[in-house]
Structure 1
């Protein structure tokens, strides 16, 4: 193996990149989960749920298109940072301007524009890691990426602290946090050149003999796990209260917070292990498999302790799965020169579940209860586990 293949990026770059990736999560998590619903309740009193659903649908479509388009654009120009900077500035300006929307149609239009600007930042940012981080550091990178959802949730809690900021000031506060997190990577990150990662002849990871099959399996596995994760995120409170009507939204938030907090060090440890042992896919197999077990526990639980235990098993395993999958995807993409576009196609696994999940839940829960939903989601995670466990290796 050439010496260049074992060159490593300094820890400083990995940390600055992880901070920037977390800034991407902060850019949308507090807004979409807290600030947008509050604003929608002001503009569409009595029809806020329907209006929010239409807005989420339009936003998901815009995000899907924009992520592919700007990933492709950054491929064509051969540079990532100007696109990241442009997206940071435009998305921040649009976010702060949301307070000017006085009707639901105007707000929807602004959110679509904001999604385009946001993905101008997110798509090249994701591809930048593929340009810079060698395969033997992708496990560590994946572990560090687990910080993103945790900091996204923490930012939501921070900006809603009583007395800290008013409704309009919260948008400014979010934009400032994003700039403080993404800016240092743009200004101070100096990654070592990794020309071998941009070599057009490097079309597949050495551990896999069928690159196209691997890409498809990786894509499907993430989609299946994301459908399960999105379903649980949206309806966990309803299920908990159905088991025990004394459960509050604060109790559910605490469970989410514990899972997100513990998943960060766990993902870092597992990621480092996968780098040292050169088993990049095995943690993904375990994550999907254990996630299926957690869902099975939830399907069989009729008391709150068992329900929480099942969710903790599911939440921890799938949080680690999703974080490590994000980095290991970079090693299976077939063409370095179209890395941004291809990651945009992988990003569909993040947006499509939000379009599938509501219909899946409405079809099952009213007729068969949450148990049937959990059984189906457990089957999806089990299929994801099989898809990854049966990858052909050289």
Structure 2
């Protein structure tokens, strides 16, 4: 009898109802930041700035300050939720405060005030996101992590879809769009807090000893070199992803001034929705083949190619095609990478803190991207910027391709 089958018989599996509610909450987390950071914030900065140069500069400042705040807050609230041995109150407090601050963005009448509100919003948002991420490790046993891992691929797509919905022409004003996003987030996150009722998983919360970590059967999973390569590869890939996250709208507008925010949202959302079935298929193949890292390496290599195509694009259609390829493979990479991270972190008693440290691969790239964009975009334009990003993606592919297959077993 397999361990998974045994777990089902002994009642060690989490309910499917809870898994779906958790996936919905994770999608709510993506909805909280994707429409705002990719579309709504750049549009507000464009309206306040005195031209494209000032727009790029202020967007860089916004993402720089926001990334610093998010990095610190994610680790801090993960650690606090570890120490208090509870996640739900932190998630709820973060939900309420982040939605309130999102609504307050409508009151900002100049760029410095918008920047201050953005930093406060990032802190409150990560009060919700950090404990929410740790909650999956607390409640979902290893033999079921494939399902939530696949469902998490829905989060970027649904977050992008939210952006496409709120930017439908004539649906809402700029301020009403912020309110629509806040309502969507609450609708997604509240059900798991109010009705989730996960089955207790005491084995997942039991502190792991040094002897257990030295167990030869576990050393492939917890081998430091593999974890370090995965961290660094994601860090490099996220620099490229963060750049497109921040400047996709601006880049499309530099190629075609008639390309609006609703057009950008539809392309962004469509790509991520198409990426969902692709991610599920590739993830299922990697489980059957016992090759969890190989698809990540392939995705990083194709990302490098897509960025070179974007660097050479001079008209709208080639730009959309190149970005579509980029969006598909990076979405697949990031979703599958999340599933692997949930399996390799070894200490349940520090799960929230450790996920916060791993989350630096999401926030620190924004700092690097902001510094690069302030220097390279004004001097070399987007083609030079994208060429550099292609080199970083190629390095990430090399890191993952050189992981021995014997070290990839979970």
1:288 aligns to what?
Answer: 300
SS in 1 for 2:359: helix
SS in 2 for 1:294: helix
TM-aligned CA deviation for residue 212 of structure 1: 2.1
2:106 aligns to what?
Answer: 99
Q: Distance in 2 between matches of 1:58 and 1:280?
A: 34
TM-aligned CA deviation for residue 119 of structure 1: 0.8
Structure 1 position 263 matched with structure 2 position 275: yes
Q: Normalising to structure 1: TM-score of the pair?
A: 0.86
1:121 aligns to what?
Answer: 128
C-alpha contact 2:82 2:353 (8 A) present in aligned 1 = yes
Structure 1 position 80 matched with structure 2 position 91: no
2:259 aligns to what?
Answer: 248
**RMSD over aligned Cα, in angstroms?**
3.2
2:331 to 307, 319, 325: 319
2:96 aligns to what?
Answer: 89
TM-aligned CA deviation for residue 184 of structure 1: 0.8
TM-aligned CA deviation for residue 73 of structure 1: 0.5
Structure 1 position 355 matched with structure 2 position 355: no
1:341 aligns to what?
Answer: 353
C-alpha contact 1:141 1:271 (8 A) present in aligned 2 = no
Gaps of 5+ in 2: none
Q: Distance in 2 between matches of 1:371 and 1:96?
A: 36
C-alpha contact 1:136 1:278 (8 A) present in aligned 2 = no
C-alpha contact 2:19 2:148 (8 A) present in aligned 1 = yes
1:221 to 233, 252, 257: 233
Gaps of 5+ in 1: none
C-alpha contact 1:208 1:391 (8 A) present in aligned 2 = no
2:22 aligns to what?
Answer: 17
TM-aligned CA deviation for residue 388 of structure 1: 2.3
1:108 aligns to what?
Answer: 115
1:155 aligns to what?
Answer: 162
**Which whole-Å deviations, capped at 9, do the CAs of 1:286-332 have from their partners, x for residues lacking one?**
22222233334445667766554443332211110101111211111
**Which whole-Å deviations, capped at 9, do the CAs of 1:43-71 have from their partners, x for residues lacking one?**
66676654444333222211111001000
Distance 1:100 1:290, change over 3 A: closer
TM-aligned CA deviation for residue 169 of structure 1: 3.3
Q: Distance in 2 between matches of 1:172 and 1:255?
A: 23
Distance 1:162 1:305, change over 3 A: closer
SS in 2 for 1:191: coil
C-alpha contact 1:20 1:181 (8 A) present in aligned 2 = yes
Distance 1:218 1:114, change over 3 A: same
Q: Distance in 1 between matches of 2:180 and 2:337?
A: 31
TM-aligned CA deviation for residue 138 of structure 1: 2.9
1:380 aligns to what?
Answer: 392
Q: Distance in 1 between matches of 2:168 and 2:236?
A: 35
The total of aligned residue pairs comes to: 393
**Which whole-Å deviations, capped at 9, do the CAs of 1:174-201 have from their partners, x for residues lacking one?**
2221111001111222333333333313
**Which whole-Å deviations, capped at 9, do the CAs of 1:316-355 have from their partners, x for residues lacking one?**
1111010111121111113221111111112111122222
Range with bigger deviation, 165-174 or 3-12: 3-12
TM-aligned CA deviation for residue 203 of structure 1: 4.4
SS in 1 for 2:89: helix
